[in-house]
Amino acid sequence: MQRRYTFFMLLRGTPLWRALELDEQHARHDELLVRVFEAYPELSLRRFDSAAFASRCSDVLVWETSDVAQYHDAIAALRDGGPLGPVWFEIVEVIPAVEDHGRERDPLLPLWMSTV
């Protein structure tokens, strides 16, 4: 089974981003999706608005891939003058993760989890 990696990217929108109408923010996000899917087919991306719930970040991007090199290249391209550049967002933190790491190696883990 091919391992999937998840990257939780915490973003803080700049005043310029926050000044955009919601429709324009959605259009910019859709532009980001198109660029990602065209150039990096192993990546998937979801965006969550957290501005009303957190002071630390305004948006959370959830990237998933089985090819970490594609994630790296996509972020580099999107930061250099792209939607993730300093005009629109400050990247607060990136949290890499592996879902249920170890489960595929320990056949008893699902059984143990069901008894907790």
CB atoms within 10 A of CB 90: 14
> What pLDDT sits at residue 75?
92
5-115: CATH homologous superfamily?
Apc35880; domain 1 (3.30.70.1030)
Chunk the chain into consecutive blocks of 10 residues (it has 116) and report each block's average pLDDT, rounded to whole numbers: 90 93 89 84 91 88 94 89 84 90 56 47
- Sheet (strand 44-49) strand order: 44-49, 59-65, 5-13, 89-97
Domain ranges in the chain? 5-115
Burial class (CB in 10 A: 0-12, 13-18, 19+), 46: exposed
Token duo for residue 32: 């980001």
Biggest CA–CA distance in the chain, Å, is: 52
Token duo for residue 58: 């305004």
> What pLDDT sits at residue 112?
45
> What pLDDT sits at residue 2?
81
> What pLDDT sits at residue 92?
94
> What pLDDT sits at residue 110?
53
| pTM score, whole prediction | 0.80
